[in-house]
Amino acid sequence: MSTQSLPLVATPVITKKPQNPTAKFVIGAGVCWSYELALGHFFEFIKVMKQTQGHKSYLELGREITKAKGIVGVWDGFFPWGTVQALAKGSVFSWGQAFARVQMVPFVKQGYLGDRTAEVISGGFGGGVQGIFLSPTLLLKTRVMTDPVFRNKMTGWETCKKSGQVGMNVIRNEGIAALMKGSIVFSLKRVADWSTRYFFCVVTEDALFKRNNPTKKLTVYEELSASLIGGTLSCLVTLPVDVMVAQIQQASKAGANVGIISTFKEEYAKGGLKRIAGFSMAGFVPRCLHCAFTTMVMKTGCSVVYDWYEKYSEDN
């Protein structure tokens, strides 16, 4: 009597050790704030300006930002709202991503979920958590960046003080619900942003560096390169939604009920499909740079710092 052997099931591969969500929360806050202060806020500033004043060149926008205050004008909106946003978005995203990754480990081990799929899902989950917490601070920061009042000459303290008053003015004039203006679009955008960033990072890692070796450990340089490429490709997919958020939350639309369909109808009436295409791609260059470097910093940079922290903890 012949016995038929059962087919062998390959042991699922877990390429990275799950990270502690609490430690990642703290690390994400510090790394994100440092990046936004040094580079990210400027990219986002010039991007929002281009998306809301598309008729002006990048050079004109740069001059407008620095005309009255010099280089200090680059940080308009960073204190306090940009700082609050940077600390919040870095911490809650890193926590959400690490938390989701830990929860999916049993499913990966049992073979219900691929490790790379779990990586992408964790990125999208982190983005969703980030979107829920960040919409009010993004609105307030966008109001400061798009309000002509802040282009006038004033000290850093005056700018910070007036920026702080923006929140109270929004609540007083438009109601507290106005702080969540564009929040649904923004939350969906965050899920799309980080899902596609992680997806393209994973695809790039597999295509360029891992090839047919799924267990290969990538170098930091290879991971950084994959993150830059993945962030750039993600930008191409999500830019129209990014423009929509900026349009809804800009200062000139304060108090107005701005919807997605009405905005696209308005742009179509101004110039048809060509106008919509131009509208959707506004701010492409700074958006691409911001998206690529943010992906590199938050996906790979935070993990590098986490590894340093873990090594330090083990040594002590």
30 against 155, higher pLDDT: 30
Task: List, for residues 124-161, the tens digit of each pLDDT value.
Answer: 999 999 988 887 877 777 777 777 777 777 877 787 88
Q: 83-93 b/e with 16+ CB inside 10 Å = b?
A: bbbbbbbbbbb
Mean pLDDT, to the nearest integer, of 239-266?
A: 61
135, 187 Cβ separation under 8 angstroms: yes
Distance CA 43, CA 66 (A): 14
pLDDT exceeds cutoff 80 at 247: no
Higher pLDDT, 193 or 162: 193
pLDDT (0 to 100) of residue 121? 97
- Whether the upstream peptide bond of residue 18 has omega within 30° of 0, thus cis, is no
For residues 208-215, give the mean pLDDT.
88
Alpha carbon 261 to chain centroid, angstroms: 24
Instruction: State yes or no: pLDDT of 8 exceeds 60.
Output: no
**Model's pTM, two decimal places?**
0.78
Over residues 30-46, mean pLDDT: 95
Query: What are the structure tokens assigned to 168, written together?
Result: 């109270």
CA 52 – CA 286 distance, rounded (Å):
13
pLDDT band at 277 (very low <50, low <70, confident <90, very high): low
The answer to whether residue 294 scores a pLDDT higher than 90 is yes
Q: Are 290 and 40 in contact (CB under 8 A)?
A: yes
Q: Which of 138, 127, 170 is nearest to 48 (CA)?
A: 138
Give the model's pLDDT for residue 257.
55
Look up residue 129 and give its amino acid. Answer: V
Q: Can you read off the two tokens belonging to residue 134?
A: 């960040």
Q: So what's the pLDDT on residue 123? A: 97
Candidates 172, 173, 180, 175; CA nearest to 140 is 180
Residue 82 above 80 pLDDT?
A: yes
Reported as half-sphere exposure (CB side, CA atoms, 13 A), residue 8 has a value of 2
pLDDT of residue 9: 40
Q: Mean pLDDT: which of 60-69, 220-229, 233-242 is highest?
A: 220-229
**Measured between alpha carbons, how far is 217 from 227 in angstroms, rounded to an integer?**
15
Instruction: Fold for 21-308, please state it.
Output: Mitochondrial carrier fold (1.50.40)
At residue 254, does pLDDT exceed 60? Answer: no
The beta strands (E) that lie in 45-121 are given as: none
Q: Which sequence spans correspond to the domains of the chain?
A: 21-308
pLDDT reported for residue 161: 81
Q: How far apart are CA 278 and CA 25, in angstroms?
A: 38
**Residue 110 clears pLDDT 50, i.e. is over it:** yes
